[in-house]
Structures are given as C-alpha cells and as structure tokens.
Amino acid sequence: MAPAVMKALVGADESGGYLLAEDLEIPVPGPGMMLCQVHAVALSPYDAKIVDYSNTPGAVGGCDFSGIVVAVGEGVTRFKEGHRILSVTFGLNASDKTAGAFAEYALAIEDLSCHIPDTMPFDQACSMGLGIATAGLALFQAPGLHLAMPRPKPAYDAENTPSFVLVSGGATGTGTMATQLLKIAGYTPIVTCSPANNALCESFGAAACFDYRSSTCGADIREYTANNLVSVFDCVTDAPTMRMCYEAIGSSGGTYVALEAPTQVVKYTRRDVRADWLMTPTITGSPVVIPGTYGRPSTPEHRVFGAQLFLLAETLLKEGGIRNHPLDVREGGLGMIPTYVNDLRVGNVRGKRMIVPLVGA
C-alpha cells in the first residue's frame, strides 16, 4: 500500500523553475488510470521548455517514467497491481496538477502505457514513452505526415521500391524512435545527423545518413531520392534545418512536419510544401492549456490513436522490435533533476537520453 504523502518535483512560484515538495498528497487513480511507484524517469527538452514558458505552480513536472502499478482505477483491464510498466504523461499541467512523472508515485493513463519485458531494466523502459508518442503522432496522424501503418504498396510497385521519409535530427531520441517505426511500417527512413552518429542511426534502421552541416545536404538528399522525397519529419526545427529540408523535398512538393512552429520566412518559400507542427500532449485527448500558439483543443482521435500505438509498442517491446536510445544515467534522485534540466537547456547533453533512477536514490 502506498503511503499518504510523497516527494515530488513541482512548478515553483512565478519566478519559475522546479521546487522539491516533501509532503505532496499522493493522487488517487480515476477511471482508466493507474497509480505507480516510480522507479526511473527520463528527462527531455520538453521538461526545460515547459517550465520556462508555461510553469504551473504546484503542479507535478515530468513526462517519461517507468515503475510498478500499486493501484488501479475503475475500468482498467490491461494492468493490475504488481505489473511493470512504462508510461508517458505531461507534467506542469494547468488542467490537472497531479499529472506528472517527477514524483515517488505517478498516475499513468492505461491507454498510454505498456507492459515492459521482465528482462528490461526500468532505466531503459522509462526513456521510451515520450518518443513513442511523439514519433507516432508525427508520422501517422494529422497534423503530422499522416502516413499509413503499414505502408500500402501500389499494384505496380516492385518488391523493394523504397518510399523515402526524411528524419531530420536522426540521432535524437525522437529521431531514432521515428526511424524504427518507419522501418516497421514499410518505409525507407533516411536521416540527417553528424557523421560521428552515422553508425548509431544506421543501427536503428536508417538507410542513409547525410551530414546536416554540409552546404549541399539538401541537394544531396534530393539527388539520393531521385527528386521524389515528399515526407519530412524535422526533430530539430530551426531556420537553417527547415531550409535544408525544403531543399530536399522533390519538385512535386510534399509535407514538412516539425516539433516547433515552422519559421515563417522559410515556410512560404515553397507553396507546394505543406508545413505544420504538433504538440505531443494532444495524444491524451484533452485540451492543451498552454499560452499562445502552443495551446490545442481536445483531440479525441489522437487518444484513440494513442491507445492503438501503445498496444503496438507493447508487442514490439516483447518481440524486440524497438529499443531505447542510448542513455546517460544520472544519480541524485528528484533533488538533482533541476540541475539536469538546466544541462538540457544549455545544450550539455547530446546524443543520449538523460535518466534519473528514483528507487534506491
């Protein structure tokens, strides 16, 4: 049985940042929810952006976690007490201050959780939920690329004819997950990355890697894809990267999807390219209550998709079909997370997902 109170990292006052709360009341799981003892959490750029841009004082922070189910809410059928799971949630939530992963106990949504294999450590498992959700939405749902899973093959299509999709930022955590999902769906993923990360990206299924620092990167991709590239997922999202992606898209046009609002000065340089961006929290089906362009209305179809996606991910995990990004495990527990979030903010973490174990910390 869980205790009555817990330690958790919450949004501080209007001055911003995270604050360690020592005696926060442990939430009770509602319908379709589970309460989990958190064994490990993963940090992401989202955790730095949200606390800077839309801090919610008193709300639990964090997105990615793994742990053990200790209680289930009404209607939960896939999980029971004692099950080992990974899950994704979205902390600093103005609509629900109990949502969040940076805590000794966290609420998990049944539809956005996976059983994890007995052989998978919690450190690995906690790093995957946000990547699954983000890459899944970006590739297979609107306003993403809206690709089909699995990819349909035209009647005239030869067995090995590639259908290219470019993942810009292929060595990021989201990039390696997107590469894996694309290959599973029957597409041919190609990526941009540093040459030092070519082997890493290829190990996750990239068919070709292109140096994003090269002045001819876009042209090189266009040549490699025989001027037929129509789909780009940009995990980097700055003006130079967007410009390179636009250069890579074939002369018939295509779709460009990013994790931040596209740069307007680049967006309209090609009217034959549809540019859009997504907010991963829409996968909960609830409105995203964040100021400005980051807010989103309720998107029930994303919740339906999320349930299907995490069931697929659970099967893939069991079969070894997907794996986690390389890890950077940091010690110190909840109290050190603000320091580690700042490392993300200033760019001191590259090529790895930062993990913080909580049990035994």
- pLDDT tens track for 61-102: 999 999 999 999 999 999 999 999 999 999 999 999 999 999
**Which of 164, 163, 178, 166 lies closest to 133 in space, CA to CA?**
178
For residue 345, the model assigns a pLDDT of 86
pLDDT-derived band at 2 (thresholds 50, 70, 90) equals: low
Mean pLDDT for the chain overall: 94
Q: Is the pLDDT of residue 20 over 70?
A: yes
- Contact between 188 and 163 under an 8 Å Cβ cutoff? The reply is yes
- Which of 49-58, 89-98, 128-137, 139-148 is predicted with the least confidence, judged by mean pLDDT? 49-58
- Contact between 256 and 245 under an 8 Å Cβ cutoff? The reply is yes
Token couple for 322? 């997907």
Please state the rounded mean pLDDT for residues 133-154. 90
Please state the rounded mean pLDDT for residues 230-246. 96
For residue 101, the model assigns a pLDDT of 98
Please state the rounded mean pLDDT for residues 285-312. 93
Q: How many of the other CB atoms lie within 10 Å of CB of 240?
A: 13
Please state the rounded mean pLDDT for residues 158-162. 65
Q: How many CA atoms lie within 13 A of 3 on its CB side?
A: 8
- Beta strands in 161-244, from DSSP E residues, in sequence order: 164-168, 188-193, 208-211, 231-234
For residue 156, the model assigns a pLDDT of 62
For residue 157, the model assigns a pLDDT of 55
pLDDT-derived band at 351 (thresholds 50, 70, 90) equals: confident
Please state the rounded mean pLDDT for residues 47-54. 88
List residues bridging with 209 in a β-sheet.
191
- Contact between 168 and 241 under an 8 Å Cβ cutoff? The reply is yes
For residue 209, report the phi and psi dihedrals to the nearest 5 degrees: -125, 140
Classify the phi-psi angles of 347: left when phi > 0, otherwise alpha if psi is within -120 to 50, otherwise beta. Answer: left
Domains of the chain and any CATH numbers: 5-129+289-357 (3.90.180.10), 144-277 (3.40.50.720)
Per-residue pLDDT of 186-214, as tens digits, reads: 999 999 999 999 999 999 999 999 999 99
- Contact between 113 and 87 under an 8 Å Cβ cutoff? The reply is yes
Please state the rounded mean pLDDT for residues 168-178. 97
Which one-letter DSSP state was computed for residue 58? T
Q: Is the pLDDT of residue 54 over 90?
A: no
Dihedral (Cα; 148, 165, 163, 281), 10-degree rounding: -10
For residue 108, the model assigns a pLDDT of 98
For residue 349, the model assigns a pLDDT of 75
For residue 126, the model assigns a pLDDT of 98
Per-residue pLDDT of 259-274, as tens digits, reads: 999 999 999 999 999 9
For residue 16, the model assigns a pLDDT of 75
For residue 160, the model assigns a pLDDT of 63
The one-letter amino acid code at 12 reads: A
Q: Is the pLDDT of residue 161 over 80?
A: no
pLDDT-derived band at 291 (thresholds 50, 70, 90) equals: confident
